Structure 1
């Protein structure tokens, strides 16, 4: 018997591929460098920033900015819990609502698909505005100082629905028809077949929802008065405003800050960026393998 050995072909490195690799390496370096500067600056002193500017490597390492922000860790921890909770619940419910709506308008045999598609597209062109939204949330629904006020406004978006509709239109009709012939109902077809096929699209949609909920501070400003319901982004904005006030002449006049005393406002901004963006930077690699594939699904059919 003849024994055959598997031959592994090494990819040839051409000049064109080398240029592409070098270009992407430089592009990654350009993208990463500002973030490294932010990390390094958060550990600098105020005097070093004023004298030498922002630096990736601090000349005098200090944790003053983090000490000021973390002076009351319970408040920050509670804001993290509120932000994480609203992000998880809002993303999961939003994905379900968006996907079910998009699935309905992507089915050619659904009678009201044209009306529902126009209805969601109309909301992208005309918006009720802040005042009607506030009246709806506070006066009609009574959600002032309610955690639902941080979740409901972002549950569905016209752009997300149309994006998901493009994904779902790539599913062949023969798959759904064969499932019906086997006796499967609409709910079973949607949960066990459609959702399984569109995992890359769901991962992409979930990432968009997570970023939207995580970076939100506007809803807290509108609907929340209680400190235990503040989201992380709004808390960090308040900390920054307080530091700017402490650096003002008015704060010195009222004796809140001694003359010549420096409040780490510049370094605190960088520290707040790390605290706010750090968790999402850790989550993004988990979606990365689906993200590019999810963006390209649905590019053939519109």
Structure 2
């Protein structure tokens, strides 16, 4: 009886009361709304008339529906499609390559029988704390390697990121049983077969997490394009959207050019706020599809088999 009473008491201690459950659910519903409401406002403003936005401000429902911002962005649709292709290629190839390289680096330094694990761990940790600076970074890729206007210059700088390497190493150390690796070695499996056949399938949760972050970094990056890409180079969709935004600001700031443009086409309205919102929608659209893809691997990784006696 005492054992049953003790178990029941432990369950009661760990159980969540209805009041606490209500508070927790309310908090997360509120937090979710705070994330979704700005996106809804973003969509509404992008489909609004520019003049109404300037006079009446932002509305959650367009007072006057307009597609002028999107027409302005896709007036020449061929470069947009090309930029989408470049962004998708850079994101997919860059993420897969980065995950492979970082996992291959993290696996040896997670093994306690690797003699130089502390040295290589310190090297990676040092890069997290200190960076070489922008000037040496630019000189290395642009002058020494000569990778200006090359598509791989948009991928290679993010192949290895110290924080992600240490994150994967920690998962390997804490979640991959040493007994499993030893049994694979006894059965005659080499290091590469053990890594790709046992370690990686058991590491899908951390690989999915890091892969999602790498995907976001590659898709949203415009700084590398700004550094290394000129007029003749490959342009990602985020960089092309940035250029469009800068062109709008330049036309608005230059009164002479803007007056000449209005004189040539009196009905033309220069999209400002609506164009910015439309750029955000165009840029964020495809990356949304990455979340369900990685979510599937989150669930799969959590249900992968464990050590069996």
**TM-score over 0.5 (shorter chain):** yes
Q: Which runs of 5+ in 1 are unaligned?
A: 1-10, 296-302
Residue of structure 2 in register with 1:284 after alignment: 291
Q: Distance in 2 between matches of 1:201 and 1:139?
A: 36
Deviation per CA, 1:99-150: give whole Å up to 9, x if none.
1111111000001111100111111122111111112112221211111111
Query: Which stretches of structure 1, 4 residues or more, deviate above 4 A after TM superposition?
Result: 289-295
Moved more, 158-167 or 277-286: 277-286
Matches within 5 A, 1:91-110: 91-110=95-114
Matches within 5 A, 1:23-62: 23-62=27-66
Q: Which runs of 5+ in 2 are unaligned?
A: 1-14, 303-309
Q: Does 1:183 align with 2:188?
A: yes
Matches within 5 A, 1:151-162: 151-162=155-166
Deviation per CA, 1:259-285: give whole Å up to 9, x if none.
895301110000000011111122213
Residue of structure 1 in register with 2:8 after alignment: none
Matches within 5 A, 1:100-139: 100-139=104-143
Q: Distance in 2 between matches of 1:57 and 1:227?
A: 41
Q: Distance in 2 between matches of 1:88 and 1:205?
A: 13
Deviation per CA, 1:72-109: give whole Å up to 9, x if none.
11111111111110101110000001011111110000
Deviation per CA, 1:185-220: give whole Å up to 9, x if none.
000000000000001111111101101100111111
CA gap 1:12/1:178 in 2 versus in 1, 3 angstroms? closer
Q: Distance in 2 between matches of 1:260 and 1:191?
A: 62
Identify which of 69, 84, 87 aligns with 2:88: 84
Quote how far apart the aligned CAs of 1:289 are: 5.1
1:46 and 1:267 in contact (8 A); partners too = yes
Identify which of 193, 212, 218 aligns with 1:213: 218
Quote how far apart the aligned CAs of 1:48 are: 1.1
How many residues matched?
Answer: 285
Secondary structure, aligned partner of 2:149 = coil
